[in-house]
Structure 1
């Protein structure tokens, strides 16, 4: 099935890098999910960090690798008392595919001192149908939905019925299908696992990620997470996704912003 631990497993190389076998289940058609690729990079960076938890990761996507063997390298840029900062790269066939800067620190489960966010209100998880692996119109397969259980709020998934709302808002529940609880590294998948926001704006189609920056705010509690994706601006062939993730205790555990390419209708 390709659970998360197996799909991100690294094998040390003699040159100090790592071999990884990019799993076909963590992909849309033959293009590995961007959050999954960032999680692989975070795994590699974490092996060099003196701090236990991923707190920030910013990745630039040069070109999409294919499922199969790839190589990851990582280096420490600075190791301080409060944080370790690192650089990591994923390559395939000597071609750079993703470059990332990562920060590791120490997270806890404490409540926020102040918060300006309100958890997105969703129907109970059982009232949100699980998304299938066949994309709208049956044109492609979203293999990652075999390994990530996605349940969209029916009020934000009208695009599945050919009725986009035009609000630039998609929300729903996510959990790993193998039953593993979310952690700081796997949350990189969560921030990039929802449908492209363009589907709710009558601008469907493949929206390859150009750059994604994610922040982990605290250790997530056990259970599914709820996610809200919104859009700020569309134009010049680009669309943005602003993502907020709350855990089962209604605490903000991750947030992200990404810029994607978009062919406008």
Structure 2
């Protein structure tokens, strides 16, 4: 098992071009995880930025890349006193796989000036159920669950027994299995948690990300993060998901919205 830093490693090739070796461990089924792919792109973009931390990224996924070699092209757009804006594209065999706009800034650990976002009430991490790479009720293996520890309240596991609550919401504890602390890049993985909300709605199949926008609000404290993800509407085999992440101090550290495909069971 490699670390997140190793799995997202890049190498400069000159003129804003970087290469990466996409790691099959960070997959759902046979498809690479959307948050992981955004993290690879964001790591490359940071190399051209004048500010240290990822603060916002919006990515589309026109094609799912395979594990293995990939190329990232980064374009510097502009820099101001407080932020750098860039455009980045991940390609494989000459075909675009991820298109992203990236904003870099400077994050702190400060408390919010104002917030109404409160962490969800959950069982303690050690009392919650940990998923493995072969999750209950799943129809395929999920290798990423061996490098990201995901734990869920047993009371919310009805879908694994064929009795989904269909509330459209899932809360999980997330921790990097290699012992690393979360950072602005790895939080992109936490914001695209496994299992997706569609499992809780009774649709336990692959839910590929089509578009995802994430905002990193502050530097996370060491320890696990709590993730609350909910869906608002499922229509025509498409689902929206909104996620918030709180660190071990109870402060919201990141949020995301994504549009995903989902295979809705026939009535």
| Unaligned ranges ≥5, structure 1 | none
Shift of the alpha carbon at 1:23?
A: 0.5
Q: Give the whole-Å Cα distance in 1 for the aligned partners of 2:150 and 2:250.
A: 18
Between 1:28-37 and 1:152-161, the stretch displaced more is: 152-161
Partner-residue secondary structure (3-state), 1:13: strand
1:31 matches 2:5:
no
Quote the residue 1:57 is aligned against: 57
Shift of the alpha carbon at 1:207?
A: 1.5
Q: Give the whole-Å Cα distance in 1 for the aligned partners of 2:135 and 2:147.
A: 15
Contact 1:156–1:169 (CA under 8 A) maintained in structure 2: no
1:181 matches 2:212:
no
What does 1:80-95 correspond to in 2, within 5 Å? 80-95=80-95
Shift of the alpha carbon at 1:196?
A: 1.6
Shift of the alpha carbon at 1:155?
A: 2.3
Quote the residue 1:258 is aligned against: 258
Q: Give the whole-Å Cα distance in 2 for the aligned partners of 1:220 and 1:129.
A: 23
Q: Give the whole-Å Cα distance in 1 for the aligned partners of 2:124 and 2:139.
A: 30
1:155 matches 2:169:
no
Between 1:176-185 and 1:138-147, the stretch displaced more is: 138-147
Shift of the alpha carbon at 1:13?
A: 1.2
1:160-182, CA deviations, whole angstroms, 9 ceiling, x for partnerless residues?
22221110111110010000000
Shift of the alpha carbon at 1:257?
A: 0.5
1:196 matches 2:205:
no
Quote the residue 1:19 is aligned against: 19
Quote the residue 1:125 is aligned against: 125
Q: Give the whole-Å Cα distance in 2 for the aligned partners of 1:26 and 1:225.
A: 18
Q: Give the whole-Å Cα distance in 2 for the aligned partners of 1:2 and 1:122.
A: 30
Quote the residue 2:3 is aligned against: 3
How many residue pairs get aligned? The number is 265
1:129-176, CA deviations, whole angstroms, 9 ceiling, x for partnerless residues?
210111444531100011101111222222122221110111110010
What does 1:198-213 correspond to in 2, within 5 Å? 198-213=198-213
Q: Give the whole-Å Cα distance in 1 for the aligned partners of 2:165 and 2:20.
A: 40
Q: Give the whole-Å Cα distance in 1 for the aligned partners of 2:135 and 2:173.
A: 18
Between 1:31-40 and 1:136-145, the stretch displaced more is: 136-145
Q: Which 4+ runs in 1 deviate beyond 6 A?
A: none
Contact 2:60–2:211 (CA under 8 A) maintained in structure 1: yes
1:194-218, CA deviations, whole angstroms, 9 ceiling, x for partnerless residues?
2121111122322211100000011
Quote the residue 1:70 is aligned against: 70
Between 1:158-167 and 1:173-182, the stretch displaced more is: 158-167
Q: Give the whole-Å Cα distance in 1 for the aligned partners of 2:30 and 2:201.
A: 25
Quote the residue 1:230 is aligned against: 230
TM-score after normalising by structure 2: 0.96
Contact 1:197–1:231 (CA under 8 A) maintained in structure 2: yes
Q: Give the whole-Å Cα distance in 1 for the aligned partners of 2:159 and 2:125.
A: 20
Quote the residue 2:168 is aligned against: 168
Between 1:177-186 and 1:255-264, the stretch displaced more is: 255-264
Contact 1:69–1:92 (CA under 8 A) maintained in structure 2: yes
